[in-house]
Amino acid sequence: MDKDLCEAALNAFSLQGIEFELGHEVTGVEKNKNGHLVKYKSRESGEKKTLSVSHVLVATGRRPNTDGLGLDNIELKPDDRDFLIVDENFRTTAANVWAIGDVTPGMMLAHRAEDEGIAVSEIIAGKVGLVNNQVIPSIVYTHPEIASVGLTETEALERFHIKKGNFPFVANSRAKANRDTQGFVKVIANAEDDTVLGVHIIGAEAGNMIAQAAQAMEFGATSEDIAYTCHAHPTHAEALKEAAMSILGKPIHM
């Protein structure tokens, strides 16, 4: 996720009473009569610590589940991370075998797999099937929600000269009416041609709002295109318009 989203999320969750121990690694977990004793240490100083908790959630990532598919029978071998390698048309190295979704490299998201399923069905039927992996949105369903599509600021800076605009929900009429003004919308654009490179949102309606950003990017929209598209008032979506307008130096409510 974009660094500004990470900082905002850390602040929002800290205000909710969640405590964070960053830069640490867990060295062991022991079960006891009260729950669990977690042992961990600082990566920087090596200081050892313990934490008594009722439950432990282990979230160390996911791997594709390609076991038991009989891949050896068709001489189809996963890579060293158990992914199936496919070409631009989702074909594997085995004849008449296609693969989509979480068993292939890429974002492990249900909506990506859904679009790839549609695309590969059309390809098998002799038609054109496409999925633009550059504009697949990601959403974290926390409160506030977090949503992104396209390049983060760090990624964009590695490839382009950029310009960016930011608009806080505290200046958005709908967010104020709902008394939920945490968060902001951030738009990143190419400084040379104004093409939108990424949109990052943290706020109550981020998951719904990111669809408009993804569609705009699919059509190669500029920040000016978004800024001068009429948005209904009062809506959370106006924050996306105003973030784009701030790139042009013309935000209305800030």
Q: Give the residue from 226, 228, 243, 230 showing the smallest Cα distance to 172.
A: 243
Of the residues 55, 143, 231, 233, only one is catalytic, namely 233
What whole-number distance in Å separates Cα of residue 16 and Cα of residue 170?
18
Which residues are CB-contacts of 158 (< 8 A; sequence separation ≥ 6)?
none
Q: Is 233 a catalytic residue?
A: yes
Angle subtended by helix axes 238-247 and 206-218, to nearest 10: 50
What values do phi and psi take at 27, rounded to 5? Answer: -105, -15
CA distances from 174 to 78, 145, 234, 235 (A): 49, 16, 5, 5
Which residues are designated catalytic? 233
